[in-house]
Amino acid sequence: MKRLFGKASKHGRSGHAVMEAALMCPWLFLVFAGAFDMGMYATAFISVENAARVAANYTSASAGTSANATVACGAVLEELDFLPNARTLTTCNAVPITVTATAVTGPDGRPASRVNVSYRTIQVIPIPGLTGVLTINRTAEMRVRD
C-alpha cells in the first residue's frame, strides 16, 4: 500500500509528531490560561481606572458632594457592575471594592475632589505557583465645578 505523504518507516518510528504534541499540550494550556488571566487583569485595570474617573466626576459637581463617599460608591458600583465579584454588591466598604472620597485643595489652590478605588480580583484559572488574586488601587482627582 502506497502512503500519500512519505514512506513508512521499516523500524516502527512513526508517531513522533503525536508524542511531541502530547508533550507540548500542558505548556500550551498554561500559555493560553496565562493569556486569558492577563486579559481579565487588563480589563479590571481599565475598569477600575474608569470607575475612579467617573466617581471623581460625580463628586466634583459641587463643594457639598466633593467628600461624599456614597455618591462615589454609586458611580463605582455602576461602572464595575460587569466584573464577576462586583455584580451583587450594594456597598463599597466590603473586601472586593473599597471607595473613599475626600475634599482636597488642588494644585491651583481651588477645591478638588479625590476618589480612591480599591478592587480585588478573583482567581480565574488557578496556575501553580501564582496567587491569581490581584489588588488594584486607582486614584482620580478633579477640580470642583463652580
pLDDT in tens, 23-40: 999 889 888 888 888 888
Q: Which residues of the chain are modeled with pLDDT < 50?
A: none
Distance in angstroms (rounded) separating the CA atoms of residues 143 and 62: 10
Q: Which pLDDT does position 14 carry in this prediction?
A: 67
Q: Is the pTM of this model over 0.85?
A: no
Q: Which pLDDT does position 9 carry in this prediction?
A: 56
Q: Which pLDDT does position 8 carry in this prediction?
A: 57
Is residue 29 within 8 Å of 112, Cβ to Cβ?
A: no
The partner residues of 115 in beta bridges, in order of sequence, read: 101, 140
Residue 113 burial (CB < 10 Å; 0-12/13-18/19+)? buried
Using alpha carbons only, give the angle 38, 57, 50 rounded to the nearest 5 degrees: 5
